[in-house]
Structure 1
């Protein structure tokens, strides 16, 4: 008889704890929604009504699901394990307080770095190499006692009022609303993803632990979506979750410049850092000996668009997709096109300006030929145009976009370099003059390994991101420069020394002045939409993904184990990462 009574008492107590847990979960859903609403003031706010409505639907749907899932995984099992209801409620209060505090901290992390909390970010906050940051972040733990008090008060009140609360029926309707909001969040996002509706897809990473559903494979298999057309659209217009950019951050102010050199910029996609040698390109190497060579120079990415982002915008590659989506013009091309400078602009390409950044953003105001030509024909076309400019005695900006054929083996690549050596030396000798600034570099390097698309996205060995940078200009001393440099450094150099911009570099670029030969950098950044790749002076690389996880590689691109990440370095990168995203 005693056992039956004891068993009935256990069931009643457990049932009561489960019932209380529902109300406690509902209370914390409201807490999470209230705190999560702060993301509305942080994110790139959508400008369409549907985009704004989606934010609120996802706010209710996402946090109600997350909190209820935590309840099912943690608090619900405790209802059966912990017999004492005070202990049970105490543990629940502590877990809820920690969760709400972490969410509050995450909103600030997202505001500053455009990242959500991860193990690396957490280590950075609580144990940084720069101690003042730790003291700053302690402020965001200050509300923790208030949250704890509120949780304790509601815990006690709801336990005492549980019988009357159980008679309330409206909670079921609220639950149905949350389920509908959660379902709508994923269905609407799946539709927007399939039909490229950016006011909604750009909200993919608004909230922590957010992984909206997509249905591309399903739609493709049933003939509702053309996979090839979809891929072409993304390539041309940028990824769906690209953020808006605030570039430049302030209107640029220029002083009258005493110099107005002709500018010739040549990029050769596929030209590796070790190509400029007597054995491989003897003619170009001889000419480079009378120029300024940057021997430790890196592209901003492993694809043409990523490298061009650094060259023409002075920005790291994680801005490429946003520049495409927003069709953001380059401050360099805008200045060259300004009537105040009156530069004549000529642009030439051997592959019809295939990289989408050309048509979508960099030269969107110029008519570009889609016709593919040989590199020899392209160089001849440029030299003919150059001769016309010389006869008219007009200042000009000439750009050549050349490419080395992909898929070559080392022998085929050597033959391609030999032909290119003749073309570039011919071009060099004809345009070289006292009043010409000649720049030769590459959007990316070249690799011989067979990599699939997914492997290539994560491949950042020296052969693909370290590239030549040769500058021929009378204002620069002849010699080889050993300091660490990046494509992001070229734009500040041109804007400062040619156009005499008065703004600080941080208003329009993330690099430093390439022509300042005395300055030193301890790291540069390469990457793509998925990775930030930090390259240090000794060639060590740290790969950071969008979630704050990292991998370490030595100078030979061998993966290394690392239990103590350089948190001070990561802090510098995180601070720079989102400085031009619109807030």
Structure 2
């Protein structure tokens, strides 16, 4: 008899739990409309169909999953129906409150609740975001009261609801919506159909199903072709830019000094020493040496930040619209003669798609229609012939990209000063650390570049151009040889000092030699030139995320770096890396993880604002 009573109670509670879950599914769906409001609206029928199916199926699965994991087992453990219902109301109140907070985080910082967002909201900092967030808890008693009312109503109407026999069809509808949405996403992901794939992260805990490995295995997907189309789609569907934000105003025509930018690919800052690069070191001692300078990225996109003065996250939008750098546009408008030379022929797509979209590449013209293989030696020789033809009364601009350091693992035709290096007889000797071989080869390439730089400086002196030429020597990113002990090599593998700290050495006539130790960024090159070479009157915030390198009074608290996937905030003693899902990691100066450290809310809000400031509000290129 007791067993029968217990069985009946459990059966009633399970039946009640199903209807109570259905009510909470509807409540969650209503709150979920906030995600739809603050997300990009799909413009195609398939995209809208997927939105509807995923909205129904996802929240149905989410709430029912909580029921199966928590309330269903509790139905067997809590024999009292009143106590069980109070427990269910508490669980549902916590769930809906969490969902409400997530919609607020999504609206405010475009992220779902994550360790980062929780830490920001619970940081205790007195910010507008925290203040508004705390007001949300006023509705918690209201949610609890509504849950109690429906809990009681469902219990009283349980028999009538059970007789309707609609539970099965309702479950089928939610199941079909859930299954259909994932099938549509599998197709959309394989075909890069953006009106569907752009909704991937609209809802919390949303992980749409993909099947690329399965389709590739059965010959239904070409992975290489897929990667190409994926990269192109990132450009085609990027947000529209306001660059510059306002019309640029100038005080006068500027100083009309010549400008030479030397970009040494992959050169990290500690290579500028008397042993590895003696000529550049001597040049730095006689000019302005910024010893605490950072690139905008840890990969080739660092050149974008250097010439645009914008974070790398804007690169796809710039490429999509073919916007050339304001710096180069101003140089052309001022009548500067261009000379562009590269050891790789400016092979990166960003050069042709955007940077030089309005400029004829001198290097391409000088390579005999591609019959010569580009190299730093040829680039220097072409530059040497070009500079000899420049007239004293006509200003010129030259970009010289040297790439031997990036190609240090390839065969070279220059002598090896640092041994043992790659290709030596000790290569297969187990006693020789491979990192020593690699780093010595890297240093040999840097030493080779140093010889070319010496010839550049000597040529400018021989033509008496040093007194009227601004020279900037820097790099797009550095190179690591596992100095952090994290098994990270080369570039684009972490954001340690070895991969993002780069030289910044400037020769500016009439400026005294000095060593600057305050934090600086390659983002600062554009505002420095615009203000001090062209005498711009507009605020640098209209066209750049940097500040002038000559602004000694600026109290900079953080430096921005990263790429399309990561936001990197460099501060004194720490480097914070935030991925696109809102997960964060804080590292010390040696790039060792600091488990207890947390970023400041005010700092990250400033960073996120800077990463969106140049976009046109509410405008994204839609796919037809």
Q: Distance in 2 between matches of 1:494 and 1:50?
A: 49
Relative to 1, partners in 2 of residues 1:466 and 1:433: Cα closer, same or farther, differing over 3 Å? same
| 2:291 counterpart SS class | strand
Tell me if structure 2 keeps the 8 A contact 1:254–1:499.
no
Per the alignment, residue 77 of structure 1 pairs with: 73
**C-alpha RMSD over aligned residues:** 3.3
| 1:559 counterpart SS class | coil
Is the counterpart of residue 356 in structure 1 residue 349 in structure 2? yes
| 1:483 counterpart SS class | coil
Per the alignment, residue 206 of structure 2 pairs with: 210
1:520 to 540, 544, 555: 555
Deviation at 1:564, TM superposition (A): 5.6
The C-alpha deviation readout for 1:172-228, integer Å capped at 9, x for no partner, is 444333323322332232223222333332332222212222222112212222223
Deviation at 1:121, TM superposition (A): 1.8
Q: Distance in 2 between matches of 1:580 and 1:62?
A: 34
Relative to 1, partners in 2 of residues 1:238 and 1:84: Cα closer, same or farther, differing over 3 Å? same
Per the alignment, residue 459 of structure 1 pairs with: 494
Per the alignment, residue 477 of structure 2 pairs with: 444
Q: Which moved more, 1:293-302 or 1:56-65?
A: 56-65
Per the alignment, residue 417 of structure 1 pairs with: 446
Relative to 1, partners in 2 of residues 1:345 and 1:516: Cα closer, same or farther, differing over 3 Å? same
Tell me if structure 2 keeps the 8 A contact 1:28–1:96.
yes
Q: Distance in 2 between matches of 1:236 and 1:430?
A: 42
| 2:480 counterpart SS class | coil
Per the alignment, residue 399 of structure 1 pairs with: 399
TM-score by length of 1: 0.87
The C-alpha deviation readout for 1:525-554, integer Å capped at 9, x for no partner, is 33234433332234x323333333333332
2:306 to 296, 307, 311: 311
Tell me if structure 1 keeps the 8 A contact 2:257–2:470.
yes
Query: What are the within-5 Å matches in structure 2 for residues 220-239 of structure 1?
Result: 220-234=216-230, 238=234
1:250 to 245, 248, 253: 245
Tell me if structure 1 keeps the 8 A contact 2:291–2:516.
yes
The C-alpha deviation readout for 1:311-330, integer Å capped at 9, x for no partner, is 23333344445555x45625
Tell me if structure 2 keeps the 8 A contact 1:124–1:571.
no
Tell me if structure 2 keeps the 8 A contact 1:264–1:398.
yes
Relative to 1, partners in 2 of residues 1:510 and 1:39: Cα closer, same or farther, differing over 3 Å? farther
Q: Distance in 1 between matches of 2:34 and 2:402?
A: 47
Is the counterpart of residue 484 in structure 1 residue 478 in structure 2? no
Per the alignment, residue 41 of structure 1 pairs with: 37
Q: Which runs of 5+ in 2 are unaligned?
A: 410-421, 423-437, 619-624
Relative to 1, partners in 2 of residues 1:352 and 1:107: Cα closer, same or farther, differing over 3 Å? farther
Q: Which moved more, 1:541-550 or 1:212-221?
A: 541-550
Deviation at 1:296, TM superposition (A): 0.2
Query: What are the within-5 Å matches in structure 2 for residues 89-488 of structure 1?
Result: 89-130=85-126, 133-170=129-166, 172-234=168-230, 238=234, 244=239, 246-248=241-243, 250-259=245-254, 260-305=256-301, 307-320=302-315, 323=318, 326-327=320-321, 329-332=323-326, 335-336=329-330, 340-366=333-359, 369=364, 371=370, 372-388=373-389, 390-391=390-391, 394-403=394-403, 404=405, 405-407=407-409, 409-431=438-460, 432-449=465-482, 457-474=492-509, 476-488=511-523
Tell me if structure 2 keeps the 8 A contact 1:481–1:517.
no
Per the alignment, residue 559 of structure 1 pairs with: 593
Tell me if structure 1 keeps the 8 A contact 2:53–2:178.
yes
Deviation at 1:477, TM superposition (A): 4.2
Deviation at 1:485, TM superposition (A): 1.1
Per the alignment, residue 427 of structure 2 pairs with: none
Tell me if structure 2 keeps the 8 A contact 1:128–1:567.
no
| 1:209 counterpart SS class | coil
Q: Which runs of 5+ in 1 are unaligned?
A: none
Relative to 1, partners in 2 of residues 1:132 and 1:227: Cα closer, same or farther, differing over 3 Å? closer
Q: Distance in 1 between matches of 2:180 and 2:544?
A: 40
Q: Distance in 1 between matches of 2:338 and 2:56?
A: 52
Deviation at 1:167, TM superposition (A): 3.5
TM-score by length of 2: 0.82
Is the counterpart of residue 20 in structure 1 residue 16 in structure 2? yes
Tell me if structure 1 keeps the 8 A contact 2:324–2:357.
no
The C-alpha deviation readout for 1:249-281, integer Å capped at 9, x for no partner, is 733332343304443322211111012222211
| 1:293 counterpart SS class | strand
Per the alignment, residue 534 of structure 1 pairs with: 569
Per the alignment, residue 25 of structure 2 pairs with: 29
Relative to 1, partners in 2 of residues 1:51 and 1:362: Cα closer, same or farther, differing over 3 Å? farther
Relative to 1, partners in 2 of residues 1:182 and 1:513: Cα closer, same or farther, differing over 3 Å? farther
Deviation at 1:289, TM superposition (A): 2.5
